Structure 1
Amino acid sequence: MATAAEQATAFHTFFAPVLDGIDQRIQAAAQPSDLDEALQAVIDARATLQERDREAGLTKRDREQYERRLARLQSQVISRRSTLQPAASSSRFSFRRTAAKAEAATSEGSASSSYNLAMSPAPSPPLEQGETAGGIQVTLQTNRTITFKDLAKAASSQDAPLSLSLSHLTDCIVDLRGDRPHIVALTATNLKRCAVLLPRIDGSLMLTRLEDSLLVVEACRQLRVYSSKRAVVDVAAGGVASPITLESCEAMRVTSGVKVQDFDQPGAGPSAEPTKSWRGIQDREAQHLEALKETPSAEALADILSRLFSPAAAPDTSSSPYLAADSGLLLVFSSPGTQATQSEFHEWYDEEHVPLRVGARGFPEFRSAARYSCSTLTSPSATASPAFQAEWGAAYTISSNALYNDARYTALRSNRSPREADLVKRLGVLDRRIYKTMGDSRASKEPRGDVRPQPKEQIEEEACRVEVTGFHAEQSEAEVAKWFADEAKPALLKREGVTRVRLLLLIDALINGVEAGEGNADAKDVPRWALYIEGAEGVEGVTTQVVKLPGAENRTEVRMMKLYRAWDPVRALQACAN
């Protein structure tokens, strides 16, 4: 059992580089959106400090030092933002709320009675010749009601088209309906427990990282939502010219009958049918939203929001495929492509990407980690897409698929380092597949399979060669599992060199990259089933030699993988040791 001093030292070792990294991101910021990400990192770091303060055994002095540094970092974000804004940023101003509003906010738990409403030009979409558009940014607000009258003070002209950016708002109401402003576009980032009520938007709405928040809009041309959870999106019938798009979202509610393009659904097109990421707004919820048309008082609106976001109203996530009772395999195929070098690709993967998952600051659910060089023997794509020719692979055994619902894990993608964010945009292929274990030769009587941590020495000895054979099957899951247990597993284990065989069921596939099809188009060709065969020399092509697959042979995918490097799953080994 670690002493308090050892725990504090471990926390310092972990937390100091986090703060240093935020500082570097602020200094490297080239545009305001970079600072949005840096500010979110500050917020996340403060939450981490609060969550782990007690278990880390920090002294009062240490805790106060970290708090002061976090405050300085937040100030640096604001200061740096002013240097990145155009000259028109002189339109920024601050003001104090009226005493009546201040008292109301105090009674609701507000920590302060004054706020800085930062109004500054934001990027605007192309406009027709002869028009000019002003941009206003509202950021760092808490417990505030914002109307168009507030924005008009910062606008160059109340009649000019306006683009609006909202960021880092908490417990705020943004009601722009009454004065009918001419808004051409709106972006919103990092909104928590907020209500945004909008008139017709001439252009697009882009929403990122909304949480427990409500958006009501009369109409818009395009509506996209990214990395959000437990948000309600209500659009008037026929109010969106194209399907609403969702990506990396969970527990969302959307107006019933509206078509949604859920990019987390492999190969699915726009549909009004709910997915694991969203469901339709129910009748009782629609009744609450109907009351918003009458411009309710602040008290009435608060009541409506509490009804919408009460635990009883939360979206049903019981159908989520990421269940704690399931184990699985995370399989990633990738290629640096022509826009990234092999050296920077390997440096990022080996020194940053993998250690964040299996290192001392990683996740105990990662029970093994290895990278492989790959060759494709058979491609499932009729078009021979480059997405299925990736020359590198990575495989991780996952002890519980509930990991994919863990906010700390999903934050790895939403809070990428500047290096990772830049490199991922340039990669030729990044093909991520999440599987559920349906059979395992090492734990034939255990549905979860063998999820004991695998040290790197074990992988180097027993899994230096891997064959991945993907296939489709019309049979039921139970029938395929029986085929594996009765036929495939015994036949494969008889082959010299084979040490382990797993049957995997695809849960999710996401294929991005410069060389991949747009809109995750290649994911539709990923086979639903896979045999994952580990061993030494001689496993190449073993599946098709010794077993008859239950699916059509012309739809198979066969890849051979040769071990490049293995890692110890440090957190998993520590958890099991304790």
Structure 2
Amino acid sequence: MNSESTVPPHNLESDRGLLLVYSHNGTEFSDVEFNNWYDEEHIPQRLRFPGCNNASRYQAIDSKYPPWAALYHTTSSDIPESEEWFKLREVASDTERAILARLPIMTRSTFTLSSFHRPPESEPTAGLGTGAGKVICIVHLQVTAVEALEQTDLETSFIRWYQDFIIKGVSKTPGWIRSRVYNRHDGRDMKTTPELKVAMDSGMLVIHEWNENGDAMDVSKQESNVSAQVQIWEKDRRCKVTRETRIMTLYKEW
């Protein structure tokens, strides 16, 4: 069940960086023990770090692993890659050290905001996009040239098409409040899987968000349609698009 949130609206324009962390408590810890540590110690400590604007945690509703994701929005993508940020581990409690040592999956990557898309001011949902989305679709993307276009030209063409065509289509689904496009900045694999590493190393990340009126089934249907459209684009340009998507629901925001 999702936690209630009383987080006040924040300035989305200052969220230029993103730290995305996937985790899985496996059988080592109960959900209660894992979430108590994450919610009461781990995230609050990082929110006190200068430049960390807000954070949210999501739980999978797509039956994929890992089941948990945390998003930290920062003023710059350099912040969660700084020596000072990683020094937080040096002051970690015994509880945090024990949990981090035994988690089966805990992997992270940082991203820089490339473009921001939200409803026009005239739309009914325009004023609802100042908090974390209640349902999100995280999309990891990597386009690779096989022949014809040069890699740089291909990436530019793909991003333009994705923004002008795919995001435009996604924006018509009920409850949509925003889509953000990111470029990968850096990453450090702590504990991961081969499949998750491919996703986290992808050069492009898109996060679509819906409010409480968004329906997860609508998101899933839209995702199937997008998948078909990407395959057509891929075939027409004789390239390879690596794509991994996650559909998750808000657990808690700060």
Q: Is the 8 A contact 1:371 1:395 kept in 2?
A: yes
How much does 1:522 deviate?
A: 5.2
* Counterpart residue number, 1:539: 219
Give the direction of change, closer, same or farther, for the CA distance of 1:356–1:443 in structure 2 (3 Å limit): farther
* Counterpart residue number, 2:197: 523
1:556 matched to 2:243? The reply is yes
Report 1:90-169 matches (<5 A): none
Code of the aligned partner of 1:441: H
Which of 179, 197, 210 lines up with 1:501 in the alignment?
A: 179
Report 1:237-252 matches (<5 A): none
Which of 322, 337, 340 lines up with 2:29 in the alignment?
A: 340
Which whole-Å CA distance do the structure 2 matches of 1:541 and 1:394 have between them?
A: 24
Which whole-Å CA distance do the structure 2 matches of 1:559 and 1:501 have between them?
A: 14
Once the two structures are superposed, residues 459-514 of structure 1 have per-residue CA deviations (whole angstroms, 9 ceiling, x without a partner) of 36xx000011222213534333322332222222122221101112222333433x
Which whole-Å CA distance do the structure 2 matches of 1:522 and 1:468 have between them?
A: 13
* Counterpart residue number, 1:425: 101
SS at match of 2:220: coil
* Counterpart residue number, 1:473: 143
* Counterpart residue number, 1:410: 86
1:330 matched to 2:19? The reply is yes
Identity between Structure 1 and Structure 2 (%): 25
Which of 71, 77, 80 lines up with 1:395 in the alignment?
A: 71
- Using the size of structure 2 for normalisation, the TM-score is 0.71
Which of 345, 367, 370 lines up with 2:53 in the alignment?
A: 367
Report 1:295-310 matches (<5 A): none
Once the two structures are superposed, residues 429-454 of structure 1 have per-residue CA deviations (whole angstroms, 9 ceiling, x without a partner) of 1121211212110499xxxxxxxxxx
Give the direction of change, closer, same or farther, for the CA distance of 1:521–1:558 in structure 2 (3 Å limit): closer
Q: Is the 8 A contact 1:471 1:528 kept in 2?
A: yes
- Using the size of structure 1 for normalisation, the TM-score is 0.34
How much does 1:345 deviate?
A: 0.7
Give the structure, 1 or 2, with the largest relative contact order (CA under 8 Å, sep 6 or more): 2
Code of the aligned partner of 1:555: T
**Could you say what the CA RMSD is over the residues aligned between the two structures, in angstroms?**
3.1
Code of the aligned partner of 1:528: G
How much does 1:364 deviate?
A: 4.2
How much does 1:376 deviate?
A: 4.3
Which whole-Å CA distance do the structure 2 matches of 1:521 and 1:531 have between them?
A: 18
Give the direction of change, closer, same or farther, for the CA distance of 1:532–1:333 in structure 2 (3 Å limit): same
Structure ID, larger Rg: 1
Which whole-Å CA distance do the structure 2 matches of 1:435 and 1:407 have between them?
A: 17
How much does 1:395 deviate?
A: 1.3
SS at match of 1:368: strand
Code of the aligned partner of 1:344: E
1:512 matched to 2:187? The reply is no
Which of 439, 442, 450 lines up with 2:115 in the alignment?
A: 439
Which whole-Å CA distance do the structure 2 matches of 1:491 and 1:521 have between them?
A: 28
Which whole-Å CA distance do the structure 2 matches of 1:326 and 1:351 have between them?
A: 23
Code of the aligned partner of 2:185: I
1:459 matched to 2:139? The reply is no
Q: Is the 8 A contact 2:20 2:69 kept in 1?
A: yes
Going by fraction, where is strand more abundant, 1 or 2? 2
Give the direction of change, closer, same or farther, for the CA distance of 1:512–1:483 in structure 2 (3 Å limit): same
Report 1:174-185 matches (<5 A): none
Once the two structures are superposed, residues 4-58 of structure 1 have per-residue CA deviations (whole angstroms, 9 ceiling, x without a partner) of xxxxxxxxxxxxxxxxxxxxxxxxxxxxxxxxxxxxxxxxxxxxxxxxxxxxxxx
Which whole-Å CA distance do the structure 1 matches of 2:74 and 2:240 have between them?
A: 29
Which whole-Å CA distance do the structure 2 matches of 1:554 and 1:405 have between them?
A: 28
* Counterpart residue number, 1:491: 169
Q: Is the 8 A contact 2:141 2:199 kept in 1?
A: no
Code of the aligned partner of 1:523: K
Which whole-Å CA distance do the structure 2 matches of 1:505 and 1:437 have between them?
A: 6
Which whole-Å CA distance do the structure 2 matches of 1:435 and 1:420 have between them?
A: 25
Code of the aligned partner of 1:389: Y
Once the two structures are superposed, residues 368-414 of structure 1 have per-residue CA deviations (whole angstroms, 9 ceiling, x without a partner) of 3111111446xxxxxxxxxx711111112222123135443221134
Once the two structures are superposed, residues 91-120 of structure 1 have per-residue CA deviations (whole angstroms, 9 ceiling, x without a partner) of xxxxxxxxxxxxxxxxxxxxxxxxxxxxxx
SS at match of 1:481: helix
SS at match of 1:472: strand
Which whole-Å CA distance do the structure 2 matches of 1:482 and 1:438 have between them?
A: 11
Q: Is the 8 A contact 1:470 1:558 kept in 2?
A: yes
Which whole-Å CA distance do the structure 2 matches of 1:327 and 1:443 have between them?
A: 19
Give the direction of change, closer, same or farther, for the CA distance of 1:375–1:432 in structure 2 (3 Å limit): farther
Code of the aligned partner of 1:355: P
Which whole-Å CA distance do the structure 1 matches of 2:15 and 2:136 have between them?
A: 22
Which whole-Å CA distance do the structure 1 matches of 2:69 and 2:199 have between them?
A: 18
Report 1:17-416 matches (<5 A): 327-358=16-47, 362-376=48-62, 389-416=65-92
Code of the aligned partner of 2:219: V
Code of the aligned partner of 1:329: L
Code of the aligned partner of 1:472: Q
Which whole-Å CA distance do the structure 1 matches of 2:20 and 2:80 have between them?
A: 14
SS at match of 1:373: strand
How much does 1:533 deviate?
A: 0.4
